[in-house]
Amino acid sequence: MPSLILASASPRRRELLGLIGLVPKAIVAADVDETPAKGEHPAAYTARVALAKAVAVAAAHPEDVVLAADTVVARGRRILPKADDEATARRCLALLSGARHRVHTALVVIPPGAPPRRRLVTTRVAFKRLSDRDVSRYLASGEWRGKAGGYAIQGLAGAFVRDLRGSYAAVVGLPLFETWQLLDGLDVPWQAPNPEP
């Protein structure tokens, strides 16, 4: 029976997998170049990066099932960065305020000795118009740090979302329906999640 390797260091993806009873044997962060090519469409970019992550990790774990994912926040054709500093987060929030944007999450599963299985999930998200107070409080929270587009929908920024069309879990980082579809039939270990007390 093959084991599941998660090719991502994201704690959110690990938690989401646990919600559907999947516990990876190992978490292996892939070391790949995530620089967008000039003029690259956000959906094509995230699909390319997810595949690169999966291939890199599968090369070191050929007997296991490797799952990789990548998530991009895009306003039109513009890929918003991961916010590593407050100035970047502020710029992202200004672009998202009062506007619609797309969140593309690409999934790749590589079973042992088989070609990659792929899915791309696009979710449309609309933010309310953010006041100066909204932005200041959010920046003070620090939860934007390291997040694509400078926000985490599962935290305080959930209060900014006035409309969402698609997969909430995909915006967090891992669409559960599509993940289950890709892994179904591959005999990876499954365990019943612990019920809430």
Two tokens, residue 8: 């991502």
Q: What is the pLDDT of residue 31?
A: 87
Q: How many angstroms separate the CA atoms of 114 and 63, rounded? A: 11
Q: What is the pLDDT of residue 152?
A: 95
User: Would you give the distance in Å from CA 156 to the centre of its chain?
Assistant: 18
pLDDT digits (tens, 9 = 90+) for 18-68: 999 998 999 999 889 889 999 899 999 999 999 999 999 999 999 999 999
Asked if pLDDT for residue 77 goes beyond 80, the answer is: yes
Task: Cite the active site residues.
Answer: 70
Q: What is the pLDDT of residue 195?
A: 63
Asked if pLDDT for residue 128 goes beyond 90, the answer is: yes
Contacting residues for 5 by C-beta, under 8 A, at least 6 apart: 24, 25, 26, 27, 28, 57, 61, 64, 65, 66, 67
pLDDT digits (tens, 9 = 90+) for 133-148: 999 999 999 999 999 9
Q: How many angstroms separate the CA atoms of 111 and 103, rounded? A: 26
Contacting residues for 173 by C-beta, under 8 A, at least 6 apart: 10, 12, 13, 16, 69, 71, 105
- What would the CATH number be for the domain defined by 4-183? 3.90.950.10
In terms of Cβ atoms closer than 10 Å to its own Cβ (0-12, 13-18, 19+), residue 63 is: exposed
